[in-house]
Amino acid sequence: MHMAQTLERSLQRAHCQFKLVEHEPSATSLESARKAGIPAARMAKSVILDDRRGHYLMAVLPANRQLDLSKVRKGTLRWQLSGEQALVRLFKDCERGAIPAVGEVYGLEMLIDPMLARHQDIYLEAGDHESLVHLSVDEFFRLAPNAEVCDLCA
């Protein structure tokens, strides 16, 4: 079981209470939720967007929902899904496809769908394909104090 160092340091600095949950290897956040036996609605998945000019943004939504790009409003920029090479560069301490849904600790602005905020606790990828971080929503927002909560789902 491996947690991304950036995430681990941020959790420690913020004095967050959390639990690491191990599960069978998975390829997606939805599959991680299924293999860990948790509700997909409480699994936070991250979608990384860019504006074609070097600005990045993390949209965070429940694993069982799809991002509606037309609802992403951050400045006057037009956003698109980021390519794989950008993800490798931005999340150097994470396995490909296992990005923790805490963009602020990686220097990214964040948008969070309100469906996640209404739960008492949530889960997020720990940076590998075999573990999740389980924490309260209050602790989650301690890691993302500048995040904007707005409707993002189709």
Examine residue 88 and state whether it is found in any structural domain, yes or no. Answer: yes
Q: Is 75 within a domain?
A: yes
DSSP code per residue over 10-77? HHHHTT--EEEEE-S--SSHHHHHHHHT--GGGEEEEEEEE-SSS-EEEEEEETTS-B-GGG--STT-
Cβ–Cβ under 8 Å, residues 79 and 69: yes
Structural domain count, the chain: 1
Q: Is residue 50 part of a domain?
A: yes
Which residue ranges in the chain fall short of pLDDT 70?
1, 75-76
pTM, 2 dp: 0.94
CA-nearest of 38, 50, 17 to 125 is: 38
Q: What are phi and psi of 70, to 5 degrees?
A: -70, -15
Per the structure, the complete domain to which residue 130 belongs is given by 5-149
Q: What is the CATH number of the domain that holds 14?
A: 3.90.960.10
Task: Quote the pLDDT of residue 52.
Answer: 87
pLDDT at res. 149: 96
pLDDT in tens, 71-97: 997 766 789 999 989 999 999 999 998
Is 35 part of any domain?
yes
The answer as to whether 154 is a domain residue is no
pLDDT at 78: 84
Q: Distance between CA atoms of 143 and 34, rounded to whole angstroms?
A: 25
How far is the CA of 36 from the CAs of 1, 39, 40, 79, 127, in angstroms? 14, 9, 10, 32, 15
In-domain check, residue 84: yes
Number of Cβ within 10 Å of residue 147's Cβ equals 19
**The pLDDT value given to residue 118:** 95
The answer to whether 154 touches 65, Cβ cutoff 8 Å, is yes
